[in-house]
Structure 1
Amino acid sequence: MPTNPATSTGPVWDWSAGHGPVTGAMSATTGALAIATTGAATGMPPAWALAVGAAGAIGHTATSLRDRLSARTIGMRAASWLLGAGWTTWAIATGPLTWAALGSLATLGVGIGAASRATLIHEEARELEAIAVAERQVARELSAERRAIAAEWVDRIQRVCHVTVRVLAVEQWPTGSGFTIDAELPPGGTTYDRIAQHATQLAADARLPHGCTAIASQGIDQGRVLIDVTTVNVLAEERTYPDQYGPLSIYTGIPWGYRTNAQEICVYLREQCALVVGPTGSGKTNMVHVILAGFARTTDVLTWVIDLNAGSAGLPWVRPALDDNGQIVDGMTPGVDWLASTYDEALLMLDAALAIGRHRKVAYQDLMAQANTDQLPVSPKIPQIMLVIDEGAEILASTDRQMKELAKKILEVIRMLRAMGVRTVLTALGATGAVLGNLMIRREAKARVCLTGGEVEGMDLSKVFPGARGLRVDQAPYKGAGFMGTPESAAALFKNWRILPNQIRDIVTATSALHPTLDATSATVAGDAYANRWAPERTAWMRDPHRPTPAAVTEQGRPGGLNLSALREQPPAAESEADALARQFREQIDAKFATAPERGKAEDRAERPAGLNLSALRGSDEDNAAKDAALALLLAAGPEGTGASAIARALTNAHGTSRQTVVGWLKTWSDDGTAVRIGTGTKTRYVHHHHAPPEGQ
């Protein structure tokens, strides 16, 4: 009966293994006995065995020299061949089956085995010693380099910061882009701040390349300091989003970019909100896509997006999962779980989030008691809801009645639903007091990103990272680069990856199976607003570019030629979003400062005699709207003020206004007292007279 190898209990031979001291000696002696016996029986000349042995000794000597073996090993191998050949020659001549022949062969085998074992141990020791010598050599070289770095930076810190430190260690970064110095501060109460405030001077003294920094942070205790020195500017190069789309968790962190040492930096948003600040052209939209990519890979997060700019931030994450009829493609789920592009849809989404959060507080009491926690145990079965609100900080600062209603609900979500797994990621166009003045944002948004792209106007880093030292906008002049700070990582330079539309489609496809579904308890209270979010009639605007978004207003085109609107009563043309913002600010300005009434109001038309309306000769409506929008932006800038470049950039998309035109308006307003000019040259900024400081201050 055949034997099953898997159940065999006998010895297992590895025929591919090499010979050791015992098997090698046995093989040599049995081989010599077989040759001697065969040679004696057939009358083979004894000298042949001696010739073969000599050839084997010469061959093994050559290979041993090639392998750089020790002289002891080479001599043992050559002697084994020659002794074996000598015994075989003698045994063929005298007879191999005598007691003398067999005894001498056994003695020879024992000697060969013992010698092999001794030389093997010697070779292993010799190899280990060679490795140790090489390691010591590398250590000496590294130690010398580290000692040189330590001495150089001790002298530099003394010279620049007037602080004498003792360097305990220098760690070279694996990426080769810099190193970290671990130093002990002098006694007497010196803190790491003494060094941190001189980061710019240290970098200049070290002649670091542009974009490289020397940032000091807290050490292992309050008497130690860590100084991260970047020697290679990794922020200058563009890196694409990593093509590994494996699953993530809200608990294990979500990568949002990489530091100057080329290491990923992750955010942990189970309990905290996030704030992303970035002016036009800084890479903020790309940053939003990086954030959505991370959430799409997370198995315990559902992403809801509010973007009142036609939903542009979330559309690339939805369209790959919808067919031409607006139905979800089989086997696919959108990269975001809900997308709101209008006020009404955003209101539905926020109401659903609030209802879910309140209901979870009651429905999951038993679950939280079992887990012995006062926070909802987020999991793929009960996912966290992340509300990504593009330009959400501007919504919170808006004075518009509808935006105030949205702001009220957003703040309620931030304030009430942390424990129940509903958090927000807000974006903002600028780091100004008008935008970041809300205490709730500053207190709850502990993960903060400020993309600069080299922009200086409206980028007050101290408002985003209060207390952080050594941060300057000109350190991150590249698109997608800026500063990032979290409770786990101090504010410092970083850059996010470039993510392109084709990669977004790939991520949506690759992560469709990872997305969780809203727990039944939460889905019930969310109601039809959530259940029908992908209904074809609610997503028609995503597929048809000529169809307006639900409840959205669109600007109607005017016929060319002479405007005879004074001779006919027509409903006013729908306002664009920019015009609506300008109108609201005009009304506020008129009410507060008693400015001149706007042309075209009903009371003006009542006093105006009937006839041909030639108001176009007094300046186009578009020019007036652009000028009013510029004045609104000046007022919204608050005491910080703004400049011509910032206003022109804000008006470019809506009105196509040039910077030169804005400069003329600002000069006129400065002359008539509407605005106050502060500074000269490139530092010039304008402040609305309502926010201007009193004279003499």
Structure 2
Amino acid sequence: MSTTTQADTGPVWDWAAGHGPVTGALSATTGCLAVATTGAAAGMPPGWVLAVGAAGAIGHTVTSIRDRLAARTVGMRAASWLVGAGWTTWAMATGPLSWAALGSLATIGVGMGAAARATLLHEEARELEAIAAAERQVARELSAERRQIAAEWVDRIQRVCGVTVRVLAVEMWPTGTGFTIDAELPPGGITYDRIARESARLSADARLPHGCTATASQGIDQGRVLVDVTTVNVLAAEVTYPSDYGPLSLHSGIPWGLRTNADEIRAYLREQCALVVGPTGSGKTNMVHTILAGFARATDVLTWVIDLNAGSAGLPWVRPALDSSGQTADGMRPGVDWLAASHEEAALMLDAAVRIAKHRKMAYQDLMSKANTDLLPISDRIPQIMIVIDEGAEILASSDRESRKLAEKILEVIRIARAMGIRTVLTALGATGAVLGNLMIRREAKVRVALTGGETEGMDLGKQFPGSRGLRVDQAPYKGAGFMGTPESPAALFKSWRILPNQIRDIVAATSDRHPTLDATSAKAAGPDYARRWDHVRTAWMRDHAAPSATEQDRQQGHTDGLNLSALREERSADPLSEDELARKFREQIDAQFATASEPGHPTREPEQPPAPGLNLSALRNEDNAARQAALALLLAAGPEGTGASAIARALADEHGTTRQTVVGWLKAWTEDGTAVRVGTGTKARYVHRRHAPGASPEE
């Protein structure tokens, strides 16, 4: 049988709490009564109680003085011990249970409680007064500094801008790198931009260090102005990407760098596209890696990268997760979800993005209706796709046919996919009219970055940040430094983090299990182009440029333990010989070092002796012919679809040890003599046997 205990509704005692005036007095008086009663019954000498009371008074006096309590508090505590000890001694001698003893004890208890309450209030008042005095001292010091700053800048703004302002507040930045002035503009319709356009003159008048500025922005209303003054140059130093690779969210913003006050600046890209401009040497590639790092850390973002310059922007984020066969190593996922390095692969990616956007509009109508929004709710279950296109602005401005096709697809993605969670980050080499002339880019790419690096050519900051005043390239002459503006914060100086290659590898490993997967609805719309993006054939280009092994390097450089043909080359260069003479010397060198086998169909030089073990060149020649014939058979078996050098080399590697370079040579020779036909270009190139080539007759 189980019972249920219900808590009482009365007061609950907190036995861990300290005594207050009431409970302290009650505890003291009941203790005295208990000691007096017990001592009287046991015949205890009353003098002992006086000794204990005196020791308690001395002890509390010492601790109170050490804690710097008021003299009133020290006296009250010592008196409480002595009065309590005196009553206990008297009660033990006369009887503690008489009405006189009990009444006097109650009076003592009330007195103790009242005295404790009074001293407690006095101590609280002393503590508050001490805090207030310290704050007043700090305020006086700060107020003096702020009054000096306010007076100085009122005079400076009047002298430089011809505007008389009234400073309402001066806020010192916690980082110690500057301050902000909140000022009221004079009547007469003067606006903040009257001061903003004189930023350079104000900075010069204030003798600010290079890399420091005085910039004006809108205040709390149109009659107020905020002047941010940077006093410490934070742009010159290289700031490494933070080592905290914790999770991020698209909705809380992705950090891209630091403002001059050392605060992080974040890009909010749920609805906005981004444009990053930077000439060669300005740190644009490093900025791209910083952006990819933020996307890799996000739990609701899938990153697709298009880089037609050999995929260099995305390869560092892919290679740590792929083994030699192109598959993920130990279950690790790449830092980017799709990488395109050719026009063909980029077209597949953009077509898939368009299909996803259109299908999401139909498939998620119920979800958006339930959420009462016209924007697709982005989460780790339905991630946003961020397409980073390195030098994508140049693709939009290019005139060649392939780039024009890609440009049309990029603009279509930007135009139709905002609500469905597909946005782009474009980079460009300069802020020119050709780059910024597209209305779609100017309208959608509201997050803008200009990495100047001191470069003045092709950096029209007024065109990239329309409406912003006082921005000059020479304010940010350092690598990785420039200007950044978002809909949430006006264009101003900032510094991009420096991200190192080992950090990229660490971020790929740390965030591998954090990447979301494309929702099933979107994956179905993306089709096989997306599902097979990591197929061996489509990622072969990522491995073809891998460094050769030590053995291959030795072979390429001629570092072998066998026959040294360099001697013949040197001899030939010193004394040109005829082909017959060269062949004769070649055979003599072989015969001198190896016991060679006879040529097929010819008798040996010494038939009476068994052939000595050594280098058999005819065997190598036969093996080479066998491998060549096997490769030709594979080419014929591939049919109209054809095959490539990598596929043939893998098929022959175990049995013949054939390398890809050898197969490439065979395919080139077969193409020249008409045995094979090359179809496609670049990574899409295939070789088809002439029997299966388009237009070939069945009899061939």
Q: TM-score, normalised by structure 1?
A: 0.74
CA distance in 1, matches of 2:124, 2:5: 35
* 1:19 is aligned to 2:27: no
Corresponding letter in the other structure for 1:120: L
Assess, with a 3 A threshold, how the Cα gap between structure 1 residues 41 and 488 changes in structure 2: closer, same or farther: closer
Find the counterpart in structure 2 of residue 108 from structure 1: 108
CA distance in 2, matches of 1:302, 1:34: 75
Q: Secondary structure at the match of 1:512?
A: coil
CA distance in 2, matches of 1:8, 1:536: 72
CA-atom RMSD, angstroms? Answer: 2.8
Q: Secondary structure at the match of 1:291?
A: helix
* 1:458 is aligned to 2:464: no
CA distance in 2, matches of 1:493, 1:442: 20
Find the counterpart in structure 1 of residue 186 from structure 2: 186
Find the counterpart in structure 2 of residue 300 from structure 1: 300
Assess, with a 3 A threshold, how the Cα gap between structure 1 residues 89 and 330 changes in structure 2: closer, same or farther: same
Equivalent runs, 1:524-535 vs 2, <5 Å: 524-535=524-535
Corresponding letter in the other structure for 1:441: I
CA distance in 2, matches of 1:3, 1:165: 76
Equivalent runs, 1:479-490 vs 2, <5 Å: 479-490=479-490
State the Cα distance separating 1:148 from its structure 2 match: 2.1
Find the counterpart in structure 1 of residue 323 from structure 2: 323
Assess, with a 3 A threshold, how the Cα gap between structure 1 residues 105 and 393 changes in structure 2: closer, same or farther: same
Deviations, residues 360-390 of structure 1 (Å, cap 9, x unaligned): 3444444444444444333333332211011
State the Cα distance separating 1:474 from its structure 2 match: 1.9
Deviations, residues 169-205 of structure 1 (Å, cap 9, x unaligned): 2222222221111111111111111101111111122
Assess, with a 3 A threshold, how the Cα gap between structure 1 residues 525 and 108 changes in structure 2: closer, same or farther: closer
CA distance in 1, matches of 2:199, 2:469: 8
Equivalent runs, 1:63-462 vs 2, <5 Å: 63-329=63-329, 331-462=331-462
Structure 1 stretches of at least 4 aligned residues deviating more than 6 Å after TM superposition: 1-11
Assess, with a 3 A threshold, how the Cα gap between structure 1 residues 206 and 326 changes in structure 2: closer, same or farther: same
Corresponding letter in the other structure for 1:139: A
Q: Secondary structure at the match of 1:538?
A: coil
**1:32/1:88 contact within 8 Å kept:** yes
Find the counterpart in structure 1 of residue 607 from structure 2: none
State the Cα distance separating 1:338 from its structure 2 match: 0.5
Corresponding letter in the other structure for 1:321: A
Equivalent runs, 1:43-82 vs 2, <5 Å: 44-82=44-82
State the Cα distance separating 1:292 from its structure 2 match: 0.9
State the Cα distance separating 1:109 from its structure 2 match: 2.0
Q: Secondary structure at the match of 1:281?
A: coil
State the Cα distance separating 1:161 from its structure 2 match: 0.7
Deviations, residues 629-675 of structure 1 (Å, cap 9, x unaligned): xxxxxxxxxxxxxxxxxxxxxxxxxxxxxxxxxxxxxxxxxxxxxxx
Equivalent runs, 1:611-630 vs 2, <5 Å: none
State the Cα distance separating 1:481 from its structure 2 match: 1.0
Find the counterpart in structure 2 of residue 501 from structure 1: 501
State the Cα distance separating 1:159 from its structure 2 match: 0.8
Find the counterpart in structure 1 of residue 652 from structure 2: none
**1:275/1:448 contact within 8 Å kept:** yes
**1:301/1:385 contact within 8 Å kept:** yes
State the Cα distance separating 1:214 from its structure 2 match: 0.6
Assess, with a 3 A threshold, how the Cα gap between structure 1 residues 34 and 270 changes in structure 2: closer, same or farther: closer
Corresponding letter in the other structure for 2:281: G
**1:257/1:495 contact within 8 Å kept:** yes
Equivalent runs, 1:505-544 vs 2, <5 Å: 505-544=505-544
Corresponding letter in the other structure for 2:499: I
State the Cα distance separating 1:451 from its structure 2 match: 0.8
**1:238/1:498 contact within 8 Å kept:** yes
Deviations, residues 129-178 of structure 1 (Å, cap 9, x unaligned): 32233233333333333222221111110011110011122222222221
Q: Secondary structure at the match of 1:208?
A: coil
CA distance in 1, matches of 2:425, 2:433: 19
State the Cα distance separating 1:9 from its structure 2 match: 7.8
CA distance in 1, matches of 2:96, 2:373: 86
5+ residue gaps, structure 1:
549-558, 563-697
CA distance in 2, matches of 1:274, 1:450: 11
Deviations, residues 389-409 of structure 1 (Å, cap 9, x unaligned): 111112222233222222222
Corresponding letter in the other structure for 2:438: N
Find the counterpart in structure 2 of residue 33 from structure 1: 33
**1:481/1:494 contact within 8 Å kept:** yes
State the Cα distance separating 1:61 from its structure 2 match: 1.7
Corresponding letter in the other structure for 1:529: D
CA distance in 1, matches of 2:192, 2:103: 81
**1:451/1:483 contact within 8 Å kept:** yes
Q: Secondary structure at the match of 2:82?
A: helix
Find the counterpart in structure 2 of residue 671 from structure 1: none
Q: Secondary structure at the match of 1:513?
A: coil
Q: Secondary structure at the match of 1:195?
A: helix
State the Cα distance separating 1:491 from its structure 2 match: 0.8
Q: Secondary structure at the match of 2:237?
A: coil
Find the counterpart in structure 1 of residue 471 from structure 2: 471
Deviations, residues 272-324 of structure 1 (Å, cap 9, x unaligned): 21111112221111111111112122233221100111111111222232233
Deviations, residues 561-602 of structure 1 (Å, cap 9, x unaligned): 99xxxxxxxxxxxxxxxxxxxxxxxxxxxxxxxxxxxxxxxx
Which moved further from structure 2: 513-522 or 169-178? 513-522
**1:540/1:547 contact within 8 Å kept:** no
Which moved further from structure 2: 465-474 or 6-15? 6-15
Q: Secondary structure at the match of 1:187?
A: coil
Q: Secondary structure at the match of 2:339?
A: strand
**1:541/1:547 contact within 8 Å kept:** no
Corresponding letter in the other structure for 2:314: G
CA distance in 1, matches of 2:318, 2:341: 13
State the Cα distance separating 1:49 from its structure 2 match: 2.8
State the Cα distance separating 1:6 from its structure 2 match: 9.7
Q: Secondary structure at the match of 2:229?
A: strand
5+ residue gaps, structure 2:
549-568, 574-700
CA distance in 1, matches of 2:56, 2:298: 66
Corresponding letter in the other structure for 1:192: Y
CA distance in 2, matches of 1:492, 1:45: 85
Corresponding letter in the other structure for 1:127: E
Q: Secondary structure at the match of 2:513?
A: helix
Q: Secondary structure at the match of 2:113?
A: helix
CA distance in 2, matches of 1:92, 1:380: 78
- How many corresponding residue pairs? 551
State the Cα distance separating 1:3 from its structure 2 match: 10
